[in-house]
């Protein structure tokens, strides 16, 4: 009887595991496996790039005037005398421990440099994508609702200009007009020269750190410096987001359920925002995630023009100086960002679209 009772108690637990817990575990295992395979592919590509680049990492460290003995010593220290497969395995091990090697430029660990410069890019891209969402989504919806009218034409023209104009050209014009002529914004850099290192770096986000320190002068200076480059990135993302929003909305507004809602006398506001827009949220998640990832890794020109000390300018400077440890470390971090944002968008699918569960 004891065995029978125990068996009867285990059945509900087994059913619960099979019906609810196991499907969730399968999704988690599949997601982790997908991330691992993608990261392995990314590491393989960066490893190959580091080996085929016409740059001698040993000479970049010891210099061209070093003796053969010094060259051989550093060559062995870098593990270049080992078989390629062994080098790749050690490379994976180091990356898993966030060890990207030592920067040739400043003799500091690359991981420390990335941790120092990435918050600047994160702050710039985050404000840029917020501007893009707040302006791009309503603009796309407005263009779709007023298809073929002058409102639609203006919205499409605004998006076309932002999508086709080189961002470095817009940056130079913006600096000339708003900084050089009008003096409305701050110049290059994250903050005025008199406010550099005034507030302690807690988060690495200078606006947040200034607020935490209660230093409004630094906050105003930082805001005046970030508003122009962030607006340019926001305009760039606005162009893509508004075009995709318009396309998604046109498809929904031509559906039968929208016609039925209008025939029943539902207000246009409810038709557009509570019905049509609700059905494009999942598609917009992907668009916004890709735009955000693009700003995080693709703001190189903006960072260079505005002397913004972010990861884009860091990788560019390292590449021009043949600092391959810094280049590959930054590339791995950028690739990881893309992977994590894709995983986040998949998770948001299940929140906004019950059919994806």
155-189, pLDDT tens digit by residue? 889 888 887 888 888 888 988 998 888 888 888 88
Q: Please tell me the predicted confidence (pLDDT) of residue 18.
A: 58
% pLDDT > 90, the chain:
15
Structure token pair of residue 82: 């080992």
Are residue 160 and residue 267 in the same domain, yes or no?
yes
In terms of residues, how long is the chain? 357
Are residue 84 and residue 146 in the same domain, yes or no?
no
Are residue 215 and residue 77 in the same domain, yes or no?
no
Would you say residue 101 lies in a domain? no
> Of 63, 96, 129, which one is at a domain's C-terminal end?
96
Distance CA 51, CA 65 (A): 23
Taking residues 129-140, what's their average pLDDT?
93
Q: Please tell me the predicted confidence (pLDDT) of residue 141.
A: 92
Are residue 87 and residue 156 in the same domain, yes or no?
no
Q: Is it the case that residue 276 has pLDDT exceeding 80?
A: yes
Q: Is it the case that residue 17 has pLDDT exceeding 60?
A: no
> Of 45, 62, 96, which one is at a domain's C-terminal end?
96
Would you say residue 104 lies in a domain? no
Q: Is it the case that residue 11 has pLDDT exceeding 60?
A: no
CATH of the domain at 340: 1.10.3720.10
263: CB partners within 8 A, 6+ apart: none
Query: Which of the residue ranges 273-277, 325-329, 348-352 would you say has the lowest mean pLDDT?
Result: 348-352
Taking residues 57-71, what's their average pLDDT?
73
Would you say residue 135 lies in a domain? yes
Are residue 307 and residue 179 in the same domain, yes or no?
yes
> Cα-flanking dihedrals φ and ψ of residue 300, to 5°?
-60, -50
Would you say residue 270 lies in a domain? yes
Segment of 55-69, 111-125, 181-195, 270-284 carrying the highest mean pLDDT: 111-125
Q: Is it the case that residue 354 has pLDDT exceeding 70?
A: no
Are residue 268 and residue 127 in the same domain, yes or no?
yes
Are residue 87 and residue 180 in the same domain, yes or no?
no
Q: Please tell me the predicted confidence (pLDDT) of residue 23.
A: 65
Are residue 153 and residue 208 in the same domain, yes or no?
yes
Would you say residue 199 lies in a domain? yes
Comparison of pLDDT for 133 and 60, the residue scoring more: 133
% pLDDT > 70, the chain:
88
The domain tally of the chain equals 2
Q: Which residues is 102 bridged to in the sheet?
A: 109
Are residue 191 and residue 291 in the same domain, yes or no?
yes
Are residue 87 and residue 230 in the same domain, yes or no?
no
Distance CA 108, CA 264 (A): 68
Q: Is it the case that residue 134 has pLDDT exceeding 90?
A: yes
Q: Which residues is 22 bridged to in the sheet?
A: none
Q: Is it the case that residue 15 has pLDDT exceeding 80?
A: no
Would you say residue 102 lies in a domain? no
Domain that holds residue 339: 110-356
pLDDT-based confidence at residue 356 (cuts at 50, 70, 90): low
Distance CA 297, CA 333 (A): 9
Would you say residue 69 lies in a domain? yes
Are residue 159 and residue 187 in the same domain, yes or no?
yes
Contacts 24+ apart (CB under 8 A), 166-171: 167/232, 167/233, 167/236, 167/301, 167/302, 168/301, 168/302, 168/304, 168/305, 170/232, 170/235, 171/229, 171/232, 171/301, 171/302, 171/305, 171/306
Are residue 226 and residue 286 in the same domain, yes or no?
yes
Q: Please tell me the predicted confidence (pLDDT) of residue 1.
A: 45
Q: Which of 32, 25, 60 is nearest to 325 (CA)?
A: 60
Query: Which of the residue ranges 26-30, 86-90, 226-230, 235-239 would you say has the lowest mean pLDDT?
Result: 26-30
Would you say residue 175 lies in a domain? yes
> Of 71, 96, 121, which one is at a domain's C-terminal end?
96
């Amino acid at each position: 009887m004891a065995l029978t009772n125990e068996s009867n108690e285990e059945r509900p637990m087994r059913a619960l595991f099979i019906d609810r817990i196991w499907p969730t575990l399968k999704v988690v295992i599949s997601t982790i496996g997908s991330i691992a395979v993608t990261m392995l592919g990314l590491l393989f590509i960066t490893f190959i790039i580091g080996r085929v680049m016409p740059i001698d990492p040993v000479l970049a460290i010891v210099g061209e005037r070093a003796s053969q003995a010094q060259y051989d010593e550093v060559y062995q220290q870098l593990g270049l005398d080992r078989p390629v497969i062994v080098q790749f395995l050690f490379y994976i091990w180091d990356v898993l421990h966030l060890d990207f090697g030592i920067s040739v430029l400043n003799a500091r660990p690359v991981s420390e440099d990335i941790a120092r410069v990435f918050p600047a890019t994160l702050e710039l891209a985050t404000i840029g994508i917020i501007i893009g969402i707040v302006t791009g989504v309503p603009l796309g919806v407005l263009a779709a609702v007023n298809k073929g009218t002058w409102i639609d034409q203006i919205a499409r023209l605004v998006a076309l200009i932002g999508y086709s104009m080189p961002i470095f050209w817009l940056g130079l014009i913006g600096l000339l007009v708003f900084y050089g002529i009008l003096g409305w914004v701050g110049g290059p850099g994250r903050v005025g020269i008199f406010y550099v290192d005034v507030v302690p770096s807690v988060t690495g986000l200078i606006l947040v750190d200034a607020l935490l320190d209660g230093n409004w002068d630094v906050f105003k200076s930082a805001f005046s410096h970030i508003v122009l480059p962030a607006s340019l990135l926001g305009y760039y993302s606005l162009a893509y987001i508004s075009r995709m929003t318009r396309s998604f909305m046109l498809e929904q507004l031509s559906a039968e359920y929208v016609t039925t809602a209008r025939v029943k006398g539902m207000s246009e506001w409810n038709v557009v925002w509570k019905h049509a827009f609700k059905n494009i949220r999942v598609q917009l998640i992907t668009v916004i995630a890709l735009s955000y990832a693009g700003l995080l890794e693709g703001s190189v020109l903006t960072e260079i023009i505005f002397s913004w000390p972010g990861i884009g300018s860091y990788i560019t400077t390292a590449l021009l100086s043949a600092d391959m440890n810094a280049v590959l470390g930054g590339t791995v971090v950028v690739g990881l960002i893309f992977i994590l944002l894709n995983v986040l968008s998949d998770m948001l699918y299940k929140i906004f679209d019950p059919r994806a569960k």
